[in-house]
Chains A and B, each alone.
Chain A
Amino acid sequence: MDYNYFISNRQLITDLAINTGTSENPTFTPICTTSEVNISTELESKDFYVYCDALQRKLITGAAVMLSGTLKLDVNNEGDLAILDTVHTLIADGEISQFNGIGIQFNLLTGVNNGVLEYTKYQATVSLSVSDLGGAAEDESEFSFEMTLIGTATVVASA
């Protein structure tokens, strides 16, 4: 008999971590997100027609892979502060380079083995954008982030 095995959103993508070291000696610190981190594949496509029928064809020509979520600000967390720091640098110095080429790691669910969920750990370089600093509710201290992958991610480990 086949059984269903359900998971929560927290178990699809886990341990999203940001590089709080340098690019030569990276230290990945898990950031404190709320329950959901989304991966979306924003696909671009071209529509075209061929001679002999009137049906539209669609061809995928590219994808922007994006991780997005809501970060619950934990001021004891260096990773959270590193993201906040990018905003400080923008305001104080007018620089934007700190939003480019940020190293991250995350685990994405691969499958299940004897009841235990298995993940693949990816390391990637992303461009970061943050919005809604301060959040809507007084006691939330949340902000939204979007990380768009720059090139392919590297598989670091399977666990």
Chain B
Amino acid sequence: MNEQDKKNKNKVLIKFIKSVIKDYKVKAEYSTNDNDKNVIVVQQTSGNKVVFFQCDNPLFNYFNIYVYGDSIESEYQTAMQLGDLVGQHIIIDFNENEKWQIIFKQYLNPRTIEYYDIRRVAYAMTFQCIVNRIQ
């Protein structure tokens, strides 16, 4: 896995979440523009990692996922939908001829409501995922 692949991990996860949740925009950051509604933000974050011998990248990474919806109920339902991905192993095509795997390992804080600015309330969660290029 080269440096570009490591940078693509976030994009691969975003591509997959887009395919699961259709009524939200999924992106790496949100804008403070009031019209930017129904957004899921996926950002890689830090955490304890494990590196195996002869692997050139950590086995898993941590991703913060924020769900900004129209209502608490919609955020709750979307957060639960994402939480149900735990244990799944997905193979996804990315770019040309690239195949990636995503294994959703653990799911933390699924219902932490956080206030991000005066208008926005989000459900914030952290996923421990293996996002790995397999070919």
Contacts A1-B2, A3-B1, A115-B99: A8 and B87 contacting too (C-beta < 8 A)? yes
Determine the chain A residues whose CB is within 8 A of the CB of B59 once the complex forms.
Answer: 6
Determine the chain A residues whose CB is within 8 A of the CB of B99 once the complex forms.
Answer: 114-115
B64 interface contact, C-beta 8 A: no
Q: Interface with A: B8-16, B21-29, B110-118, B126-134, which one? A: B126-134
Cβ proximity bits A1-26 to B, threshold 8 Å, 1 near / 0 not:
10111111011000000000000000
Decide: B91 and A4 in contact? CB cutoff 8 A: no
Interface size class of A (residues with CB under 8 A): 10 to 19
Cα A114 to Cα B101 in complex, Å, equals: 12
Interface size class of B (residues with CB under 8 A): 10 to 19
Residues of B whose CB lies within 8 Å of any CB of A are 1-2, 55, 59, 87, 89, 91, 99, 101, 103, 130, 132-135
Cα A5 to Cα B102 in complex, Å, equals: 10
Residues of A whose CB lies within 8 Å of any CB of B are 1, 3-8, 10-11, 35, 114-116
Nearest neighbor of A7 in chain B, beta-carbon distance: B89
Cα A115 to Cα B99 in complex, Å, equals: 7
Decide: A5 and B101 in contact? CB cutoff 8 A: yes
Cα A35 to Cα B103 in complex, Å, equals: 14
Determine the chain B residues whose CB is within 8 A of the CB of A114 once the complex forms.
Answer: 99, 135
- A sample of 20 more A-B contacts (CB under 8 A), given A6-B101, A114-B135, A115-B134, is A1-B2, A3-B1, A3-B132, A3-B133, A3-B134, A4-B1, A4-B55, A4-B132, A4-B134, A5-B101, A5-B135, A6-B103, A10-B87, A11-B89, A35-B87, A114-B99, A115-B91, A115-B99, A115-B135, A116-B91
Q: Which of A1, A3, A7, A35 has the most CB of B within 10 A?
A: A3
Determine the chain A residues whose CB is within 8 A of the CB of B2 once the complex forms.
Answer: 1
A125, chain B: closest CB distance, angstroms: 31
Determine the chain B residues whose CB is within 8 A of the CB of A116 once the complex forms.
Answer: 91
Which of B87, B103, B130, B135 meets A3, CB within 8 Å?
B135
Cα A39 to Cα B135 in complex, Å, equals: 28
Decide: A6 and B130 in contact? CB cutoff 8 A: yes
Determine the chain B residues whose CB is within 8 A of the CB of A3 once the complex forms.
Answer: 1, 132-135
7 residue pairs bridging A and B, Cβ less than 8 Å apart: A1-B2, A4-B134, A5-B101, A6-B59, A6-B101, A6-B103, A10-B87
Cα A116 to Cα B91 in complex, Å, equals: 8
